[in-house]
Amino acid sequence: MSTFVPKEVQAGLDSARLNALKTASRLRLSADGQTYPVLRMWKTGFSLDANTAPNLRGFVDLYDGSIHLFQCLIVASDDEGGEKRFEFKRLTAVSTTAPLDFERSVDAPVALIEAH
């Protein structure tokens, strides 16, 4: 039994796979005022479409729709199957609140009511 696939069929399969990844993911990468759709993301990196992705390096921001998820320091690693892969050197989650420099008690009041 042979597992040979003609080049045209393989190119069609790769194109269909990339299109499915583009529509399934809401993740976006923002770098230098440009945004790029993220095809896949894993613990140590992510991938972009090799046809549209520039050679990125340095600080970038990752978004899920309009929600800012991470600030990242990245480096390009390789190209494979129409995907350009990038590895995280640093991945920092973005917080919507300022960090506390003290321990907040569980039964602490949430507001102050003034007497008039």
Structure confidence by residue, pLDDT tens digits, 56-94:
889 999 998 888 999 999 998 888 878 899 999 999 988
Q: How confident is the model at residue 108 (pLDDT cuts 50, 70, 90)?
A: confident
Strand partners, 63: 28, 68
Judge whether 9 lies within some domain.
no
Find all residues with CB under 8 Å of 64, minimum gap 6, and list them: 26, 27, 28
The CATH number of the domain holding residue 70 is 2.40.10.430
- Taking the whole predicted model, whether its pTM rises above 0.95 is answered as no
H/E stretch holding 17: helix 7-24
Judge whether 107 lies within some domain.
no
Judge whether 80 lies within some domain.
yes
The terminus-to-terminus CA distance of the chain in angstroms comes to 88
Domains identified in the chain, total number: 1
Judge whether 39 lies within some domain.
yes
Judge whether 47 lies within some domain.
yes
Kindly report, residue by residue over 33-51, the tens digit of the pLDDT.
898 988 888 999 999 888 8
Q: Which residues form the domain of 39?
A: 26-93
What distance in Å separates the CA atoms of residue 96 and residue 9, rounded to the nearest whole number? 47
